[in-house]
Chain A
Amino acid sequence: MYKFYKTGFRNPNLSFKEKWNNINFTYFFFIFMLAAVGVLMLYSAANGNWNVWALKHAVRFATGVFFMGILVFVDIKVFLHYAYYFYAISLLLLIVVEVAGHTGMGATRWINLGFMKLQPSELMKIALVLALAKYFHSTTLQNIETIRGIIPPLLMALVPAGLIMIQPDLGTGAMLLMTTGVILFVVGVQIWKFAAIGIGVAALMPIAWHFLHDYQRQRVLTFLNPERDPLGAGYHIMQSKIALGSGGVFGKGFLSGTQSHLNFLPEKHTDFIFTMLSEEFGIIGALAVIIINFLILLYSYSFALKTTSYFAKLTIIGLSTNYFLYIFINIAMVLGLIPVVGVPLPMISYGGTVMLSVMASFGIIMAMYVNKDTNLGKD
């Protein structure tokens, strides 16, 4: 309890007023703009109806802002101190879901809390970044450069990633591994080790193929050749490309996307919402959303540069990377650049868990920036 006390709740580095003054409201404004685009697009996706998705999306954003607000004022020392506990709890929840999934009915990915469904895999995305940040904050470059030094972080990533992948949620599991890969890269793990892992993975590919579910194999095959089966699995990608391309430069106009509103476009309120946006607002609308996201990322990395502590820097980089992967995978998927993996476009796609986890990430990033001058030493 003493340590708890010491780490900031009772004895924070900064007063409430100092923290308030350190909040970057421009950053928040960008996030708000994305959510506003989301509300508008969901209004359109429901053929001009607020009640289906748009209002709920707005309410969730408000909820997200509330959680964000709490997180912004949490002292950085608390994050550092509880990083491993948080990770442990997330891992435990993942195991619970896995066991429940096998004993219960089919694949389960969430725990029903009554007011919301908690997806432990989303919690894990944040928990893993914090845990890895804490690990690397506490270690030396020499240690990082040894194989022994990277075994703990690799295990920290591989165990939950494996659990998520067998749910099966290939997309989230892969994102977890990619985020880990980026963190290992930025902390200074030698390039040759990545090359070695790359070769190893390539060698294991045929075995992985064997373990893939049939629908996952279909997705990969369809990605490689979308015209293979235009009315089956390739239909989604084809219709998405038609919707996007037909939007042209200026788009077909708000509420006037024919591909979307006549239901040629599947999942237009979730994974394919970027397609609908591009159909209705053309490349101008698409670029606007990409630019806002680019600014969010730019600000995030500038925060990382401006913070003093290694923990804060790595946490921001890890969470931003995670956010970037969402954006990139979703958009590249609807553009037909990568297979359809079922990753939403955060802040815009309809879906509570992802929105909350992303907004929690933004809250943590902002909290790190609020504590930019705090020197955590070596814990």
Chain B
Amino acid sequence: MNRDNSKGKVLILRTLVWGGIQLLLLLVIVARLVYLQVYEADKYKTMSEENRISSRILVPPRGVIFDRNGVPLADNKQNFQAMLVAEQTNSVDRTIEQFKKLMPLSESEEARVRRDLKRYRRFVPIKLKEGLNWEEVSKILLATREMAGVVVDDGLSRSYPFGKQTAHVLGYVAAVSEEDLTKDNDPLLETPGFKIGKIGLEKRYEKTLRGKGGNLKLEVNAVGRVMKEIEREDGESGKPLNLTLDSRLQQKAYELFGEQSGAAVLMDVNSGEILMFISMPSYDSNDFVQGVSQDVYNALLYDEKQPLINKAIAGRYSPGSTFKMMVALAALEAGVITKDTRVGCSGKLNFGNHLFHCWKKTGHGALNVVEALQHSCDVFFYEVAHRVGIDRIAAMARRFGLGAQTALKFDDEKAGVIPDRAWKLANLGESWQGGETLIAGIGQGYVLTTPIQLAVMTARIANGGKMVEPSLTKVSPKKIAKFKDMGINPVHMALIKEGMCSVVNRPGGTALMSAFDYKGKKMCGKTGTTQVKRITMKERQTGIVRQEDTPWKYRNHALFVGYAPHDNPKYAVAVLVEHGGGGSSVAAPIASKLLKEALILDEENE
């Protein structure tokens, strides 16, 4: 009995110990609960919200780009796209296979789809194919039962109604690259299928055109299905961009160039507003929106006419005879010549040990500055350049905007070169040679300018020496009033203008063939023909080979700068035709037709 009693006592004692252990274990649970639900609650609340809420970005429509008359140059058009929603299908692979039977997917397209499938969550629609027409849309809709997860969505895609006519100035939008993501942390860029401006105005005005993305917060369940909308924050549409371009002039220029290569800019001489801006040959901006294939891109990249280069701002050319106004002005301002100073031309000039030729073998006889411009006499400008010196010529050219980037601020704009003694020493480490001044005097040698610079120079001559800046957007009268006067003697300016008007309108002028008289409004200007290849002594003796017989890339560049009307200038133009031949025969007719068209359109608008 005693033993039994102790058996009961052991049981009670041990049970109390076990009860204590249980109590301890329950306290561990309570402690853990406190830790999770009180101490770490905020962390888990955040994680729970992240689980529950899926944010989607509402893509704003991109700002439309208009020309000066409200004609859309870059628009958003309805774009039917076939999308794949991974969560709605049991087998993504089978769906893609089915889709390919209906509509072929290229290897790169499929690779992109597979990459996007990995990149985004299962409920995010991934683009399979875009730009579908009605027939394709109905084909897909009829087959959706066999292709679980494929939906048709109508989004917006960028469209350029004028395509090649506006390609270089507008640029284009295209898919976001990894590099873009590192530069810009706007969440819109992470949206599948989003496109940003890659070049041209689309890039330059990206911020305002893009708008602000909206935010949509959705409650999703564990498999990603949307349960309800929690919050919607509407974004802002991209702001429209109103340009000063005139689509009709763009079209005219495009047609005038035809197959020829080059660039042209037409601007208002007082405001600097650009009405026409073209680089030829061109590409179609629309092709780049959906992404061009490597083959097409390579064909553009390696084309000897370089369609991808915006030659109006990035093409550097010798200005040739169009530079003679700068030489003449520098000389007049320096007082080394007057309006009556005459220089005799015998067709050549001996300087140092070199013989410098005039384009006219037989010579021009004695000419004053106006006549020299009219006939584009080289010997006159060799002599005058020598008298005034390179540094003063360079200073004058720079005042007129040559050799520096303009106010357009395109990334790919080139500065060109206006050489002087200091430049040569700094860049080539050699001192300036006297003969080089002579070569510069006819706008060749080291001198390199872009077509836009030549247009600005011409505008500054035409407006009587005001430092007008080019602009693709409307320029306010206040800003126009701020353009400074360069302070050049008006008498000298008048002489230069007289020379330019003689080029076109006086017998013997180099652009006489391109003259027009539209209701008393005439054009003034200056031709230029620049050598791409040096003319050898042998060629001079045997007679220069005809341009038509030399290979395209060795032919001369043709230039023309001009303005109109002659008495009260309104528009300035610069035309460059690469390897086109003579400035008077090729570039002047284009410039003439463009200026006349601008005047006609002006009248229509009134």
Is A76 an interface position by the 8 A CB rule? Answer: no
- Pair A248/B45 contact, Cβ less than 8 Å: yes
From B26, B33, B43, A283 is in contact (CB under 8 Å) with B33
- B141 within 8 A of partner (CB): no
Segment 4-41 of B: residues with Cβ below 8 Å from A: 4, 6-8, 10-12, 14-15, 17-19, 22, 25-26, 28-30, 32-34, 36-38, 40-41
A48, chain B: closest CB distance, angstroms: 14
Chain B residues positioned under 8 Å from A264 (CB to CB): 51-52, 221-222
What chain B residues lie within 8 Å of A305 (beta carbons)?
12, 15
Q: Which residue of A lies closest to B29 (CB)?
A: A331
The interface residues of chain B lying within 8 Å CB-to-CB of A335 are: 29, 32-33, 36
Known: A244-B44, A290-B30. A263 touches B37 (CB 8 A): no
Is B137 part of the contact surface with A, judged by Cβ < 8 Å? no
Given contacts A141-B3, A142-B3, A244-B44, contact A262 B227 (CB under 8 A): yes
B200 to A: closest C-beta gap in Å: 45
Hey, what's the 0/1 contact readout for B289-326 against A, CB within 8 Å counting as 1? 00000000000000000000000000000000000000
Interface residue B350 (Cβ < 8 Å from any Cβ of A): no
Given contacts A246-B48, A286-B33, A140 and B7 within 8 Å (CB-CB): yes
Cα(A301)–Cα(B21), bound, Å: 13
Could you tell me the distance between the alpha carbons of A187 and B48 in the complex, rounded to whole angstroms? 48
Give the contacts of B213-234 with A (CB-CB under 8 A): 219-223, 227
Given known contacts A142-B3, A245-B44, A186 and B15 CB-to-CB distance under 8 angstroms: yes
Please provide the chain A residues from 229 to 273 with a CB less than 8 Å away from any CB of chain B in the complex.
Answer: 239, 241-249, 258-259, 262-264
Q: Mark A331-347, 1 if CB is under 8 A from B, else 0.
A: 11001010000000000
Is B535 part of the contact surface with A, judged by Cβ < 8 Å? no
Contact A242 B221 (CB under 8 A): no
Taking a contact as CB atoms under 8 Å apart, the answer to whether B7 and A141 are in contact is yes
Distance in angstroms from A46 CB to nearest chain B CB is: 15
B-contact 0/1 string along A280-295, CB 8 Å cutoff: 0011001100100010
Expressed in whole angstroms, the Cα–Cα distance for A143 and B219 within the complex equals 66
CB-nearest residue of chain B relative to A278? B37
| A141-B3, A263-B222 known; A188+B10 contact, CB < 8 A | yes
When distances are taken between beta carbons in the complex, the residues of chain B under 8 Å from A283 are 33-34, 37-38
**Cross-chain contact of B3 among A140, A245, A294 (Cβ < 8 A):** A140
Residues of A within 8 A of B28 (CB): 332, 337
Complex Cα gap A23–B41 (Å): 43
A249 with B52: CB separation less than 8 A: no
Residues of A close to B222: CB separation below 8 A: 262-264
Distance of B33 from chain A, by nearest CB (Å): 5
Cβ contacts under 8 Å, A188 to chain B: 7, 10-11, 14
Surface stretch bound by B, among A122-130, A309-317, A366-374: A309-317
B47 within 8 A of A: yes
Q: Does A246 contact B45, Cβ atoms closer than 8 Å?
A: yes
* Chain A window 91-124, contacts with chain B (Cβ cutoff 8 Å), 1 for yes, 0 for no: 0000000000000000000000000000000000
Task: Please name all residues of chain A whose beta carbon is closer than 8 Å to the beta carbon of B52 when the two chains form the complex.
Answer: 258-259, 262, 264
Residues of A within 8 A of B29 (CB): 290, 328, 331-332, 335, 337
- Please determine whether A182 and B18 come into contact, CB atoms closer than 8 angstroms: yes
Q: Are B51 and A242 in contact (CB under 8 A)?
A: yes
Inter-subunit contact B36/A314 (CB<8 Å) = no
In the complex, the answer to whether B38 meets A246 with C-beta atoms within 8 Å is: no
Given A140-B4, A242-B44, A243-B48: A278 and B33 within 8 A (CB)? yes
Q: Is the interface of A mostly helix, strand, loop or mixed?
A: helix
Q: Return the chain B residue nearest A144 by Cβ.
A: B7
Complex alpha-carbon distance, A140 and B6, angstroms: 10
Q: Which residues of A contact B227 (CB under 8 A)?
A: 262
Decide yes or no whether A185 CB sits under 8 A from chain B.
yes
Q: Are B26 and A141 within 8 A (Cβ)?
A: no
Does the CB pair A241–B44 fall under 8 Å? yes
Closest chain A residue to B44, Cβ basis: A245
A295 to B275, CA, bound (A): 90
Bound Cα distance A188, B48 (Å) = 49
A236 to B8 alpha-carbon distance, docked (Å): 45
In the complex, the answer to whether B15 meets A248 with C-beta atoms within 8 Å is no
Asked if A324 is an interface residue, CB under 8 A from chain B, the answer is: yes
Q: Mark A318-333, 1 if CB is under 8 A from B, else 0.
A: 0001001000100110
Q: Which residues of A contact B45 (CB under 8 A)?
A: 245-246, 248
* Residue pair B41, A245 in contact (C-beta under 8 Å): yes
B residues near A282, Cβ cutoff 8 Å = 37
Partner of A313, one of B3, B11, B37, B38: B11
Contact B220–A262 (Cβ < 8 Å) = yes
Identify which of A186, A259, A314, A332 contacts B51 (C-beta below 8 A).
Answer: A259
B22 to A, closest residue via Cβ? A324
B8 partner residues in chain A, CB cutoff 8 A: 310, 313
A residues in contact with B12, CB < 8 Å: 305, 313
Docked-complex contact B10 and A187, CB < 8 angstroms:
yes
Whole-angstrom distance from the CB of B16 to the nearest CB of chain A?
8
Pair B11/A246 contact, Cβ less than 8 Å: no
In the complex, what residues of B have CB within 8 A of residue A36's CB? Answer: none
Q: What's the Cα separation between A305 and B227 when bound, in Å? A: 55
In the complex, whether A14 has a CB less than 8 A from a CB of chain B is no
Q: What residue of chain A has the Cβ atom nearest to residue B53's Cβ? A: A258
Q: In the assembled complex, how far is the CB of residue B321 from the closest CB belonging to chain A, in whole angstroms?
A: 74
| Bound CA span A185–B15, Å | 8
Q: Which residues from A are CB-within-8-Å of B26?
A: 290, 294, 328
Are the CB atoms of B36 and A241 closer together than 8 Å? yes
Report yes or no: A328 in contact with B48, Cβ–Cβ below 8 A: no
B18 CB contacts on chain A under 8 angstroms? 182, 185-186, 317, 321
User: How far, in Å, is B444 (CB) from chain A's closest CB?
Assistant: 70
Contacts of A263 in B (CB 8 A): 221-223
Known A-B contacts A290-B26, A313-B11, A328-B26; the reply to A258 vs B33 at CB < 8 A is no
Q: List 20 A-B contacts (CB under 8 A).
A: A144-B7, A186-B15, A188-B14, A239-B51, A242-B51, A245-B41, A247-B41, A249-B38, A262-B51, A262-B222, A263-B221, A264-B221, A278-B33, A286-B33, A294-B26, A305-B15, A317-B11, A328-B22, A335-B32, A335-B33
Q: 5 other contacts beyond A305-B15, A310-B11, with CB at 8 A cut-off?
A: A186-B18, A245-B41, A283-B37, A304-B15, A332-B32
Query: Which residues of A come within 8 Å of B, CB atoms?
Result: 140-142, 144, 182, 185-188, 239, 241-249, 258-259, 262-264, 278, 282-283, 286-287, 290, 294, 297, 301, 304-305, 310, 313-314, 317, 321, 324, 328, 331-332, 335, 337, 378
7 smallest beta-carbon distances between A and B, as pairs: A245-B44, A246-B48, A188-B10, A263-B222, A262-B221, A283-B37, A248-B41
